[in-house]
Amino acid sequence: MRRLGSLISALALVVSGCGDDGDDGTNMLVEDASVDTMFGGTDTLGGTDTGGDTTFGDDTVPAPDTGVPPQDTTVTQTSYLCDENLYSETPPSPNASVASAVAAFNASNRVPFIYQSLEARYPIGRYITEQGQLRGAFDNCAEIFLGNASTPVEVMNRLSTVVHECGHSLDLSIGEFGEDTFVFRPDLQLTCKDGDTTDRYGKTFARSLINGDAYAATNPDDFYRDVYMDGDPFNAAFEGGDQGFNSVVEEATQYINSLATDYAFEDQFGGYSTSARDGILTFLWYIERYLKLARESYPGVYQFISGDACYREAVLTVWARAWFYLNLTEGRPALEIDGPTLKPLVLSADLANEIQLLRQAHGCQ
């Protein structure tokens, strides 16, 4: 059952993940491909696992439900986990030349071009894509999510989707069943205990339950709701929205990569705007709402998340890395559609408080 459940999660992540760029033709292709690979047993990460932040990675059993998350006093106040402004990584290079990659482009073998152009402008994206391609849970993620792109410009317009989906593929391929891995950078990854849904032997609830909260109505044009928050969380059928907290964190992890990649290749868009900032802003909003709903209505679930040092670190890392890229891309209209509407929702005091509560549980002052 464990194996089947993870497979179902994998499929739904893929199906859901394609919604970001309005692509609709490749979902079923990858669903078929992932059926073949998820049972292949490629569950280990090779020699490039540098461990990243391992301080909190191996958590203990959550404390008894006292309503007060346990304190972790090992985090320092200079950590980006406590202050997102302290997060830094080498940013993409949007002005780096891709001329040599373009000159070598081969429409019948596009993967080398993907690697070369990403290496020039977003090396972290190259790492994620290449690792996803080499050991990912889905076969040939880079090629499949390129669709019919047949020119260098068309390919570069698809790279944010490629990195996003290969990121899913990589994360799903790592760790044992019952674990959730988030690869943020070559030197920063986390593997947490399963945060899957309650109705399928997990510890958290269906993400679509946040549709019923007080915040859903504040963004009636939420483009992502139909894609990620679909279905009935209480019926017998499996729908993408049935997935638990792990899937929300995983999508957020990849939407950061989507934004970073689109920032790197913005000069290839031909004047069109993308939803690059919208995606990650929406998922930060979902994470906050999920935490608030858990804390107020599902105390056992909140105890699991807030009492798990690895999940605290995963959320706080997503938050910090997301704001690194949101700040970097502030005021770039080609990288957002509803961003000006979404950002205040994420930063509203009552929802941002959920991040502060996790920081307190993590030992931040």
Q: Helix axis angle, 309-328 relative to 245-264, nearest 10°?
A: 30
CB-CB contact of 62 with 303 (8 Å): yes
- Note the helical H segments in 203-242: 225-228
Q: How far apart are the first and last CA of the chain?
A: 42
Part in contact with Zn ion (CB under 5 A); list of ranges 11-19, 118-126, 143-151, 286-294: 11-19
Comparing CA positions, the residue from 246, 131, 263, 144 lying closest to residue 185 is 131
CB-CB contact of 24 with 48 (8 Å): no
Min CB(243)–Zn ion separation in Å: 11
Min CB(137)–Zn ion separation in Å: 13
Comparing CA positions, the residue from 348, 361, 347, 333 lying closest to residue 84 is 347
- Binder to Zn ion among 5, 17, 195, 240 (CB under 5 A)? 17
Nearer to Zn ion, 101 or 287 (CB): 287
Q: Which two tokens stand for residue 360?
A: 């307190």
Q: Tell me: does residue 152 bind Zn ion (CB under 5 A).
A: no
Identify the residue whose tokens are 């920081």.
Answer: 359
Q: What is the DSSP letter of 338?
A: S
The pattern of x and - marking residues 53 through 92 that bind Zn ion according to CB under 5 A reads ----------------------------------------
Q: Tell me: does residue 363 bind Zn ion (CB under 5 A).
A: no
Min CB(136)–Zn ion separation in Å: 13
Using CB atoms, what's the residue nearest to Zn ion?
17
Q: Tell me: does residue 136 bind Zn ion (CB under 5 A).
A: no
Residues in the chain: 365
Part in contact with Zn ion (CB under 5 A); list of ranges 10-18, 91-99, 186-194, 296-304: 10-18
CA distance 256 to 86: 17
Amino acid (one-letter) located at 144: I
# chain residues binding Zn ion, by CB under 5 A:
3
User: 24: phi > 0 → left, psi -120 to 50 → alpha, else beta; which?
Assistant: alpha
The pattern of x and - marking residues 238 through 257 that bind Zn ion according to CB under 5 A reads -------------x--x---
Min CB(168)–Zn ion separation in Å: 5
Min CB(291)–Zn ion separation in Å: 20
Nearer to Zn ion, 21 or 251 (CB): 251
The pattern of x and - marking residues 199 through 238 that bind Zn ion according to CB under 5 A reads ----------------------------------------
Identify the residue whose tokens are 């107020």.
Answer: 296
In the complex, which residues of this chain contact Zn ion (CB under 5 A)?
Answer: 17, 251, 254
